[in-house]
A and B are shown apart, each in its own frame.
Chain A
Amino acid sequence: MSRLSRRGLIGAGAAGMGGLLLAGCDRLSASPSFQKFIGTGEDLTFGAQRILLAGQPLAREYSLSQLSPTFKSNGTSMPGGDAYRALLDNAFANYHLAVEGLVARPARFSLADLKAMPARTQITRHDCVEGWSAIGQWTGVPLGHLLRTVGVAPAARFVVLHCADDLENSTDGSGQYYESIDLFDAFHPQTILAYAMNGKPLVPAHGAPLRLRVERQLGYKQAKYVMRLQLVDRVERIKGGKGGYWEDRGYEWYAGI
């Protein structure tokens, strides 16, 4: 075999291998058991980050001069439906946040009730899973304070946030946005239910009247239009069972990376 044809063969072989590799990877990607296998990387990341964050360090806070000139609104920018419209028309005077599930004292809080509680203001960076970032200032009640007010039952492990927006405009509620975080993040000092952004009341594009800020995770965890908090021991029985709208559609429950 001449040198040249051997080289040609190696080249063709490499190209063929590349094609096979691609087709093979796509087939693997479609297999749930393989997804689970490569998901061990995410499990390692979660474990490693829990160790790194054991001391509950704060996410970086920025100065007013570093605010994004335009804070991108993503996902829903105006929830559909008459119920939300009615709340908005009344400047959320009739809004109530329900807190229920594994709590000692289930309760409902008006926006005025929440604003009367201790507040925290923080200028933080919002990182979308897509890769973009924006810096905004948030004011709200620390979720930890709210949870202590209602009393968390010993069995509770997760806070599930049920939202007013239906991202898929589904008729059966399957597209209703929801999220969940565990108590480790729920009691972090920067985890707040925000009712103000950049010094003004929250607008619908950013989740009025109330949205979650859980600053050490990605944007899809920052649930907007929060209507109800449910404390549970496990998330498997709720909707798609993965703990959130995007989680049910393939994204990781832990979004610290």
Chain B
Amino acid sequence: MPTDSAIDPAIAASRSRLPAGKETIYRHTVVVRITHWVNVIVVSLLLMSGMQIFNAHPRLYWGQYGADADKPWLEMTALKPDSDHPTGVLRLAGAQVTTTGVLGVSKGPDGQPAQRGFPKWATLPSDQDLATGRRWHFFLAWLLVANGLAYLLFGAFNGHFRRDLTPSRDQIRPRSILASIVDHIRLKHPVGEEAKRYNILQKFAYLAVVFVILPAMVLSGLTMSPGVNAAAPWLLDLFGGRASARSIHFITANLIVLFVIVHVVEVFIAGVGNEIRSMITGRYTIRTGTHS
């Protein structure tokens, strides 16, 4: 925590002219580290098996129902699917983009262009196999829930949420948020005392993933289950129908991918060795000097 609360910490950090030096702090508890790496594996495989399942019907709708004769808001399909050179397209809200080789049309089991939503290098299993994709997905979904519950219980009782994720009062002032945005744009990372806590955009991102995106992902997934629908019909109302829940499941999956991309880019900007080590051993080295 910053010692000088009178000065905006972001500014204080940039103004400080301490001699260059290093300090190692204990940043990540063992529960955070374990649940993090379990999530890396489980979420990756969930995304891949999810794309396998999506490929069985690569169209998304809004509302209670949606099938071939209904209007999708997103569709991956092939133009001239029976020709030697089918064209893969992504249709999104009325627009159409050619995506041959990746979406709509990509290499089939025989190496020839085939109609499929996501390409085989992205799906689990690689070839079209809905039954196996589902078996993977539901197995992993239980792991995600178990891992998530362990993390949530720990975070609530150990103080991780309060201590590490809750924005401090000084961080949520518009000036501080703006300063953090500018720092991010300039790829600058805080040093010194300020590097000992998460920055405000980082906190917002983690809070959104932990408390909004992943819960929405799990609940929208459950809403697609006809058995769960009978037991908890309120879920259908929460998401506006099963077809909508499937769409929201897809959107939240995309948001997770977006988060992971930004997260990994930030890890590289902040120092990949230090960041990865801290998520393995818990120890994180901060420079006590100025911005690099």
Contact B227 A250 (CB under 8 A): no
Contact B226 A216 (CB under 8 A): yes
A-B pairs with beta carbons under 8 A, tally: 147
Of A25, A39, A218, most B-chain CB atoms within 10 Å: A25
* Distance between B107 CB and nearest chain A CB, rounded to angstroms: 14
B7 at the interface (CB under 8 A from A): no
Query: Looking at the complex, which one of A38, A52, A128, A131 makes contact with B227 (CB distance below 8 Å)?
Result: A52
Given contacts A58-B230, A133-B67, A135-B64, contact A257 B130 (CB under 8 A): no
Binds B, one of A60-68, A87-95, A142-150, A196-204: A60-68
Nearest A residue to B242, CB-CB: A133
Contact B54 A131 (CB under 8 A): yes
A127 at the interface (CB under 8 A from B): yes
Given contacts A25-B45, A57-B231, A69-B69, contact A40 B57 (CB under 8 A): no
Given contacts A6-B273, A29-B124, A29-B129, contact A129 B134 (CB under 8 A): yes
Binds B, one of A42-50, A76-84, A109-117, A160-168: A42-50
Binds A, one of B89-97, B139-147, B169-177: B139-147
Query: Could you mark each residue 12-42 of chain A with 1 if its beta carbon is under 8 Å from any beta carbon of chain B, else 0?
Result: 0000000001100110010000010011111
Given contacts A127-B224, A132-B67, contact A60 B124 (CB under 8 A): no
Query: Could you mark each residue 238-257 of chain A with 1 if its beta carbon is under 8 Å from any beta carbon of chain B, else 0?
Result: 00000000100111100011
Contact B138 A22 (CB under 8 A): no
Query: Looking at the complex, which one of A41, A71, A257 makes contact with B225 (CB distance below 8 Å)?
Result: A257
Residues of B within 8 A of A25 (CB): 45, 48, 124-125, 136
Q: In the complex, A128→B130 CA distance in Å? A: 12
Contact A29 B64 (CB under 8 A): no
What would 21 A/B residue contacts be, using CB atoms closer than 8 Å?
A7-B272, A25-B45, A26-B126, A29-B124, A29-B136, A35-B132, A39-B135, A41-B139, A42-B138, A49-B227, A52-B227, A58-B230, A62-B64, A66-B65, A127-B242, A131-B224, A132-B68, A216-B230, A251-B131, A256-B225, A257-B227
- B binding-site residues for A, Cβ under 8 Å: 44-45, 48, 53-54, 56-57, 59, 64-70, 121, 124-126, 129-132, 134-136, 138-142, 224-233, 236, 242-243, 246, 268, 272-273
